[in-house]
Amino acid sequence: MATKFEAGHVLTMDDSLTVYSPGAVVFEGQTLVYVGPPDRYRESVAQEVVIPEGVLMPGLINGHSHAAMSLMRGLADDSPFFEWLTQHVWPVEARLTADDIRLGVLLAAAEMIHSGTVGFADMYFEVDAACESVDKSGMRAWISRGLDKPSEEKLAQSLEFCRTWRGRADGRIQTMLGPHAPYTCPPEFLQEIAESAVAHALGIHIHLSESAEEMRQMQERYQKTPIQLAYDAGIFKARTLIAHGVYIQEDDLPYLEGLAGGVISCPVSNAKLGNGILPYPLLRGAGVTVGLGTDGAASTNSLDMFLEMKALAWMQKMREGKPEAFRAIDALWAATRGSAAVLGHQGGMLALGRPADFIVVDGKRAHTTPELDVVANLVYAASGADVRYVVINGHIVLQEGIITTFDEKAVLQEAQTRAEHLLEGRDGA
């Protein structure tokens, strides 16, 4: 039997940006079977949820993360990027166990669910443990094992992981190959990964053009930009998720022509680490798809995609020097349709036959009143704390602010203990 959700507004994010006020969605199993005015659906339903003050919209998709880094939230804040990465993050990561990863992913899932994220693309290690937590959480995920140095063994393990977990958890788990970046993976290894991705019809998740130091290193080593190096290695022959892309330049655009996939902007992480602002107009003008992500909580601290939407809009306006350069709807599109398109996913919009992935945001809080522009309120005023319901793959995973799939309180308690233990090890205690 079907389930019906009715709300004061339904933002479909379809090609016409249709909004129903009021509106309703109906789903059976994992699929939407109706989107439109509430009174036009007259079939019987097994369950009906009515939130007159709610804004129902597609769930947000976090296009780039390292979920288990939630255990490192606040680690070496305000450090320079490469110092932060090599002297602080990597030493702690060397101590992480599969149980740490399992717990860290659940901690991240709790935060993401509460703030309206229905799926995330992740690059890390101990990926079997990560997938177990994704399965338990009820979320969607595109998981890749980070490949941070040339290793035939690790590439073979990555391919085996991709075969084992692809399509598991009722299709909520998809797999990708994850070469970390061109400063950790030399061109010959990137070429092997690219050939494997094409042979096994897998996407690629890679950091490219993230920092000025990366640009300098690639020019010194190879006399190429990271984008040019990845292209020459054949990476873009597969669907490619380019994380960050802050330093993509006009000379790179011919190499991105016809790219399946796109760039995931992480504005808060890029700002906090001093790495800069994505050249959004340059990319969109060239037809490159742009989605939105948070990066890991060790750099971003927050996994709230509502914050990322604000940051994306603010920084683009500042970069261009004019408020009309980037609109609220552009940010909402990046967090839904954009990320979905980069990943090749059918979600990110509400329409017949699409996945039953949506959220309901409370539209009647003090900070979202008056309601003069629903989209502007969502992007510029609302926060993840305003999310009341989250439905993923036809299952209610957040109901009136309560996670239904796992014991959140137990996860928070264990996460504090594990994080303290990891930092004690770093300090030699």
Question: Is residue 175 in some structural domain?
Answer: yes
Q: Compute the distance between CA of residue 310 and CA of residue 269 in angstroms, rounded to an integer.
A: 13
Residue ranges making up the domain that contains 219: 60-343
Both tokens of 303, joined, read 């996994």
**In angstroms, what is the C-alpha Rg of the chain?**
21
Same domain, yes or no: 368 and 233: no
Same domain, yes or no: 202 and 247: yes
Nearest to 268 by CA among 65, 37, 418, 51: 65
Which among 292, 309, 343 is the end of a domain? 343
Q: Which helix (H) or strand (E) holds 207?
A: strand 203-208
Q: Compute the distance between CA of residue 202 and CA of residue 124 in angstroms, rounded to an integer.
A: 17
Same domain, yes or no: 27 and 75: no
CATH number, position 127: 3.20.20.140
CB atoms within 10 A of CB 346: 13
**pLDDT attached to residue 429:** 38
**pLDDT attached to residue 421:** 87
Same domain, yes or no: 46 and 77: no
Q: Compute the distance between CA of residue 346 and CA of residue 172 in angstroms, rounded to an integer.
A: 12
Identify any residues that bridge with 361 across adjacent strands, giving them in sequence order. Answer: 55, 387
Question: Is residue 391 in some structural domain?
Answer: yes
Which stretches of 251-317 are assigned E, i.e. beta strand? 261-265, 290-292
Same domain, yes or no: 47 and 89: no
Bond from prior residue into 22 cis (ω within 30 degrees of 0)? yes
Contacts with 323 (C-beta within 8 Å, 6 or more apart), sequence order: 317
Name the CA dihedral angle for 160, 162, 164, 165, rounded to a multiple of 10 degrees: 150
Same domain, yes or no: 180 and 298: yes
Question: Is residue 418 in some structural domain?
Answer: no
Question: Is residue 408 in some structural domain?
Answer: no
Residue 13 backbone zone (phi > 0: left; psi -120 to 50: alpha; other: beta) = left
Same domain, yes or no: 135 and 178: yes
Q: Are strands 290-292 and 60-65 parallel, antiparallel or unpaired?
A: unpaired
Same domain, yes or no: 176 and 240: yes
Same domain, yes or no: 334 and 358: no
**pLDDT attached to residue 428:** 42
pTM score > 0.85 for this model?
A: yes
Question: Is residue 416 in some structural domain?
Answer: no
Which among 343, 359, 384 is the end of a domain? 343
Question: Is residue 185 in some structural domain?
Answer: yes
Q: What are phi and psi of 319, to 5 degrees?
A: -60, -40
Q: Is the dihedral of CA 192, 198, 204, 210 positive or negative?
A: positive
**How many structural domains does the chain have?**
2
**pLDDT attached to residue 332:** 98
Nearest to 130 by CA among 169, 94, 91: 169
Q: What is the DSSP letter of 59?
A: P
Question: Is residue 51 in some structural domain?
Answer: yes
Q: What's the pLDDT tens digit per position in 312-345? A: 999 999 999 999 999 999 999 999 999 999 999 9
3-state secondary structure of 206: strand
Q: Compute the distance between CA of residue 12 and CA of residue 349 in angstroms, rounded to an integer.
A: 6
b/e burial code for range 76-87 (CB count within 10 A of at least 16 → b): beeeebeebbee
Same domain, yes or no: 163 and 37: no
**pLDDT attached to residue 422:** 85
Q: What are phi and psi of 245, to 5 degrees?
A: 65, 20
Which among 343, 370, 389 is the end of a domain? 343
**pLDDT attached to residue 79:** 86
**pLDDT attached to residue 426:** 54
Same domain, yes or no: 162 and 285: yes
Q: Are the C-beta atoms of 268 and 312 separated by less than 8 Å?
A: no
Residue numbers of the chain with a pLDDT score lower than 70: 425-429
Question: Is residue 337 in some structural domain?
Answer: yes
Same domain, yes or no: 32 and 42: yes
Q: Are the C-beta atoms of 269 and 294 separated by less than 8 Å?
A: yes
Q: Are the C-beta atoms of 40 and 264 separated by less than 8 Å?
A: no
Residue entry with tokens 């509430």: 38
CATH number, position 21: 2.30.40.10
